[in-house]
Amino acid sequence: MKRFRTLLPVLALLLLMPLLGMLGGCEDGSFESDAYKALVVAGASYDATMSALADAHGKQLISDGQWSTAKDVARVYYGLFHTARIGLAEYVRLPPEKRSASAREKVQSTLAAMTLRLAELLSYARSIGVGVQAMTTEKE
């Protein structure tokens, strides 16, 4: 069975770095930028992982049951991703003086939950022998 090189530790670190930066007392601009970056990295990681899983399923390297389990985990992540995306968009739309700490914390907690679910998906893929090909991202 052909295995791709798994990038779980690197992806987890990339996802957690922006979130860790947001937990401190950072300015709104930095918070927004870090949150958007976390969403971009999470989206790319999800796409690469689901692509690798779908490819493995298509080649019958994983069973229908394993594919179904992966999709169940992915659905939870996907819901959290969009909840975080919408929450961040609503937060950014507010005038700066109306942006509350609780609204910011809600976005942060959703991003943290999303990251944990993505790590769960990556870990599951790895446990069934499916790795993720190397990804490239654009530099700013």
User: What pLDDT digit, counting tens, does each position of 51-94 carry?
Assistant: 999 999 999 999 999 999 999 999 999 999 999 999 999 999 99
Domain annotation covers residue 135: no
pLDDT in the model for residue 29:
67
Domain annotation covers residue 136: no
Residue 15 has pLDDT above 90, yes or no: no
Domain annotation covers residue 107: yes
Domain annotation covers residue 28: yes
Domain annotation covers residue 139: no
Confidence band, pLDDT 50/70/90 cuts, at residue 30:
confident
- pTM comes to 0.75
Domain annotation covers residue 3: no
pLDDT in the model for residue 14:
54
Residue found by looking up tokens 């995306």 in the block: 85
Instruction: Tell me the residue range of the domain where 116 lies.
Output: 8-127
Average pLDDT, the chain: 82
Please, which residues have CB within 8 angstroms of residue 91's CB and are 6 or more apart in sequence? 32, 99, 103, 104, 107
In a 3-state reduction of DSSP, which class is residue 117? helix
Domains identified in the chain, total number: 1
Domain annotation covers residue 140: no
Residue 125 has pLDDT above 50, yes or no: yes
C-beta neighbour count of 71 within 10 angstroms: 15
- Residue 26 and residue 107 in contact, taking contact as beta carbons nearer than 8 Å: no
- How much is the average pLDDT of 26-33? 73
Of 7 and 58, the one with more pLDDT: 58
Domain annotation covers residue 33: yes
Please, which residues have CB within 8 angstroms of residue 119's CB and are 6 or more apart in sequence? 8, 12, 15
Spatial distance between the Cα atoms of 64 and 68, rounded to a whole number of angstroms: 6
pLDDT in the model for residue 76:
96
